[in-house]
Amino acid sequence: MLLDVQRITKSYDGETILQDVSFHLEEREKAAIVGINGAGKTTLLRIIVGEETADDGICVFSRDCVTGYLAQHQDYRGEGTIYRAVYEVNGTLLALEDEMRAAEQDMKHLAGEALTRRMNEYARLSEEFERRNGYAYRSEVTGVLKGLGFTEDSFENEASTLSGGQKTRLSLARILLSAPSLLILDEPTNHLDMPSVAWLENYLAAYRGAVLVVSHDRYFMNRFVGKVIEIENTKAQVFRGTYDDYRIKKDALRHAQLSAYMAAQRKIAHEEAVIEKLKSFNREKSIRRAESREKMLAKIDRPDRPVDIDADMKLSLTPSKESGGDVLTLEDLSKSYDGVTLFSGLDLLIRRGERIAIVGANGTGKSTLLKIINGLVMQDTGTVTLGTNVEIGYYDQENQLLHMDKTLFEEISDEWPDMNNTRIRSVLAAFLFTGDDVFKLVSSLSGGERSRLSLARLMLSNANFLILDEPTNHLDIQSRSILEDALRSYTGTVLTVSHDRYFINRIATRILELDGARFTSYIGDYDYYVEKKAQLRQINEAESAKPESVSEEKLRWQAKKAEEAKRRKKENDIRRIEEEIDRLETRDKTIDEMLADPAIGSDPGKCASLADEKETIASKLAELMEKWEALSES
């Protein structure tokens, strides 16, 4: 056993954060700690590495365990270049190479016997450097730096000039190169773009040591984690498997707990009814039997009702009106800054009901494009045309619509005066504002808190075209799931820029990759995009490797690959249509149940709205069934 965490308890100002938290890690095991913001995940990591002291409990490491710890914001304060800052992690090799460089300089100025001695010394140093795999280590340093997003032409830049996020990435590179037996990482993907996150998850999956990570990136955890430690209501519970395995098991556990609670309640109610009946007979024998049953009832285990933390946090997004079929048209759009072209010649048509995610490396102009669409930035050339009845709801992380002199509660209630207090609190709670938090002034909130409040406002709007720039950045996993569920059932149109691959996978029906100043469209979710990219890469590599003259066999191979790609696309299209049909049919049944509710049936306006939605669903189902039949018969 590499690490044994035993009954850790921690309180601040009388409030218990962690209570009797226990788990262990074996050698080479990969585990993630999850929980809502404020659950105590970072506190637990700090206790494990000795930066904080537990009120009770201990953390026991194996005798030969070496740890490497990355905090969320880790500042590198050393001197020298970026490359040297990472290379120096292996002090022995650094010293050898410094001696080799010094010897090279000396040999330029020596002659005779002194030169011979220095050359012999240089040969010994070189042999020792090679024996210690120094040349391989150089390649490893380069690979780690590139993997974490540093370009080769930046290696000689001074580390002291880096931004805070870049210094955290540099610290991560140093920790990885030190190769500890236990990596402890707190939100390691916060400052990485998508290619760097993909590189890191592959690195960690192949890592020969153990990994303990705190992360909100569910896709990231799914790629390499084999154990999930959940912190909930101060307690820890361990689940074997990936993050998705944990979610399935957690849902099953909640269902089992609720079933056990309901069974216990039925049993208690039955016993209480029998006791009451026996007492009503008012006979000595029946009263004694009632008293005996009361004693037995007092001994019955009465489980607490399981707390469904999502129960009061469902969001429903309802456009005030339907837009035209063509929601957004971009034609020949271009934008440059300081002579650097972000994109040029962009053409795009977005249709009603699409949920589109724009992906691409940092600096390709994704957020700028969203600002152009919203009229906040002017394009250099081209046109942006909104369709009929399009109403935009825009989230840009700059919180331009918030009123600094209002409380959070007023920010919602003033904008939506017909909303009752319970609903306002539920909406704010979905974005992590609970209790007295709702009476804080907006001006007192942190940047992340203001972003969450802006997102809450947007979710209450009646817009039929949502444009979201990194909407999950300041949300915990629970709030991300709530947002995803709301967007999946949203009948309007969504255009988003996001680095959250799990989020994209759940909500997107089309991926637009902005690369090389142009769009490439992929009809499907994020997994389909990754699969298709890999196929295209293989085809391009095969094309590059083949000779000028294409043989008949190669042509047959290409035709076969094209046919396979066509078949896979058809299968994916059928699957997506079937999922959409299932979603619409479920919603149609829900509407029927709602119309059967007397409270709703007595509301003509609500009935008319639901009837309109049923009509829209029927039309969409007919269209989808036609597409399904056409695909199935082709």
Q: Is the pLDDT of residue 312 over 50?
A: no
Q: What is the mean pLDDT of residues 138-164?
A: 90
State mean pLDDT over 27-50: 93
Handedness of CA 570, 572, 573, 578 (dihedral sign): positive
H or E element in which residue 249 lies: helix 243-281
At 554, is the pLDDT very low, low, confident or very high (cuts 50, 70, 90)?
low
Q: Is residue 408 classed exposed, middle or buried when 0-12, 13-18 and 19+ CB atoms within 10 A define those classes?
A: buried
Q: How many CB atoms lie within 10 A of CB 56?
A: 13
Nearest to 406, CA basis, from 374, 431, 443: 443
How much is the pLDDT for 4? 95
CATH number reported for the structural domain that contains residue 612 in this entry:
1.10.287
Between 476 and 232, whose confidence is greater? 232
Last residue of some domain: 511, 545, 579?
Answer: 545
Reading the block at residue 388, the tokens are: 């009929």
Higher pLDDT, 37 or 507: 507
Nearest to 466 by CA among 396, 520, 416, 543: 396
Residues 528 and 440 in one domain: yes
- Is the pLDDT assigned to residue 70 strictly greater than 90? yes
**pLDDT over threshold 80, residue 540:** no
pLDDT at 271: 83
Residue 311 has pLDDT above 70, yes or no: no
Residues 186 and 231 in one domain: yes
Domain's final residue, options 489, 511, 545:
545
395 close to 467: Cβ distance less than 8 angstroms: yes
Q: What is the average pLDDT across 307-320?
A: 64
Q: What is the DSSP string of 13-35?
A: TTEEEEEEEEEEE-TT-EEEEE-
What is the pLDDT averaged over residues 335-350? 89
Residue 128 φ then ψ, to 5°: -65, -40
Same domain, 359 and 345: yes
User: Which of 54-63, 374-383, 515-524 bottoms out in mean pLDDT, i.e. has the lowest?
Assistant: 515-524
Task: Check whether residue 626 and residue 593 sit in a common domain.
Answer: yes
Q: Does residue 306 lie within any of the structural domains?
A: no
Residues 476 and 409 grouped into a single domain:
yes
480 and 579 inside one domain: no
Tell me, yes or no, whether 338 and 371 share the same domain: yes
Residues 449, 513, single domain; the answer is yes
User: Is 364 within the bounds of a domain?
Assistant: yes
Supply the mean pLDDT for the chain.
Answer: 86
Residue 246 falls inside a structural domain? no
269 and 130 within one domain: no
Which segments within 209-319 are labelled E, that is strand? 210-214, 227-232, 235-240
Query: By mean pLDDT, which of 197-211, 458-472, 569-583 is the weakest?
Result: 569-583
Rounded percentage of the chain residues whose pLDDT exceeds 90: 38
Q: At a CB cut-off of 8 Å and minimum separation 6, what does 131 contact?
A: none
Q: Are residues 269 and 337 in the same domain?
A: no
The closest of 62, 83, 295 to 180, measured between CA atoms, is 62
In the predicted model, what is the mean pLDDT of residues 64-69? 93
pLDDT, tens only, 90-119? 877 777 788 888 888 888 888 888 888 888
Q: How confident is the model at residue 516 (pLDDT cuts 50, 70, 90)?
A: low
> Final residue of a domain: which of 545, 577, 597?
545
439, two tokens: 């009476």
Average pLDDT value for residue range 41-55? 95
Is residue 315, in this structure, part of any structural domain at all? no
Query: Is the CA virtual torsion 163, 164, 167, 173 positive or negative?
Result: negative
pLDDT tens column, 367-416: 899 999 999 899 999 999 999 999 998 887 666 678 889 999 999 999 88
Judge whether residue 80 has pLDDT over 80.
Answer: yes
pLDDT at 426 over 60: yes
Q: Answer yes or no: is 250 within a domain.
A: no
pLDDT at 427 over 80: yes
- 178 domain residue, yes or no: yes
Q: Which has more pLDDT, 204 or 562?
A: 204
Highest mean pLDDT among 125-134, 298-307, 578-587: 578-587
Pairing state between β 355-359 and 493-497: parallel
The structure's pTM equals 0.70
Which range among 31-40, 304-313, 416-425 shows the weakest confidence by mean pLDDT? 304-313
**pLDDT of res. 212:** 97
Q: What average pLDDT does the segment 303-325 reach?
A: 71
614 and 484 belong to one structural domain: no
DSSP H helical segments within 436-493, as ranges?
A: 447-460, 477-488
Q: What number is the average pLDDT over the span 474-494?
A: 87
Determine, yes or no, domain membership for 16: yes
Secondary structure (3-state) at 42? helix
Say which residue, 477 or 355, is predicted with more confidence: 355
Tens-place pLDDT, residues 237-279: 999 999 999 989 988 887 787 788 788 888 888 888 888 887 7
Give the structural domain span for 268.
255-299
Alpha helices (H) along 336-399: 366-373
Query: What is the average per-residue pLDDT within 275-290?
Result: 80
Q: What is the mean pLDDT of residues 508-518?
A: 87
Per-residue confidence band for 285, with pLDDT thresholds at 50, 70 and 90: confident
Q: Which one of 271-280, 326-335, 430-439, 547-556 scores highest in mean pLDDT?
A: 326-335
Number of domains in the chain: 5
Tokens describing residue 230: 């959940």
Q: Domain check: are 100 and 197 in the same one?
A: no
- Residue 303 pLDDT more than 80? no
Nearest in space to 183 (alpha carbons), one of 209, 214, 203, 145: 209
User: Could you tell me the CATH number of the domain that includes residue 7?
Assistant: 3.40.50.300
Q: Is 456 part of any domain?
A: yes
